Structure 1
């Protein structure tokens, strides 16, 4: 019994030391919101602060001529450029855009998040480096997958 109590105590201490904090959760959500909000109101600096410089954003696409599927990739640099111009005319999003953030898993230095926006879903991986949470991977699709052409 004595060893069991010691084991449980150590397990609880170690779980506390390596689990996410409320601050981590808020910082992860902020990075995800910076990512989407920088597209709502064009803001490349806001996008840049959300992304790790080695981010890769991927989706599937279907070639119109061959009808074969393939993977398309976008870089952090391209996403920053997109944030500068994508919604400049204020015609890409509704007046009140949808931006639902679902935390799927958070560890000490990594996190998985699902962003549900108006017309698409983004699955994101974030990494905590030097105290800052950054989006490093994104896999996305339109809600209507037939739009991937």
Structure 2
């Protein structure tokens, strides 16, 4: 009986040490929001602060001519440029854009997040590196799947 109690205590202690904190939850949400807000109000520095340098953003599109699907990829550098140029005229988003973050799973060093934006959904993998949460992977799609053709 003592062995089981010790084992349960050790397992519980290990899980407690490695689970996320309230601050982690806030930081994960902050990073996801920085990603979309950097596009709302052109802010490349904000975008860069949210991304891991090796971040990749992907989606699946259909080449109408070849009648084949392909995967598009953008990298951290592309997203920083996008944040600087995409909404310069302020006409790409509604006055009160949708930006809802749903935490799907969080552990000590990784998180899966679903970001609902106006016209699309982004699934993000966020990692904690050197004490900072950074987006490392994004898989996205338009709400209207016909836009992928």
Offset at 1:112?
A: 0.7
Offset at 1:11?
A: 2.1
Question: In the alignment, what sits opposite 2:4?
Answer: 4
Question: In the alignment, what sits opposite 1:33?
Answer: 33
Q: Note the residue ranges of structure 1 that are not aligned, 5 or more in a row.
A: none
CA distance in 1, matches of 2:49, 2:69: 32
> Is 1:86 aligned to residue 94 of structure 2?
no
Offset at 1:67?
A: 2.2
CA distance in 2, matches of 1:51, 1:15: 27
Structure 1 length-normalised TM: 0.96
Question: In the alignment, what sits opposite 2:22?
Answer: 22
Q: How does 1:1-149 map to 2 (within 5 A)?
A: 1-149=1-149
Runs of 4 or more, structure 1, over 3 Å off, are none
Choose 7-16 or 95-104, whichever is displaced more. Answer: 7-16
Q: Note the residue ranges of structure 2 that are not aligned, 5 or more in a row.
A: none
Question: How many residues in Structure 1 have an aligned counterpart in Structure 2?
Answer: 149
CA distance in 2, matches of 1:108, 1:8: 20
Structure 2 length-normalised TM: 0.96
CA distance in 2, matches of 1:106, 1:56: 20
1:33-86 Cα deviation digits (max 9, x unpaired):
000000000000000000011111000011121221110000100000000011
- What RMSD over aligned residues (CA atoms) do the two structures have, in Å? 1.0
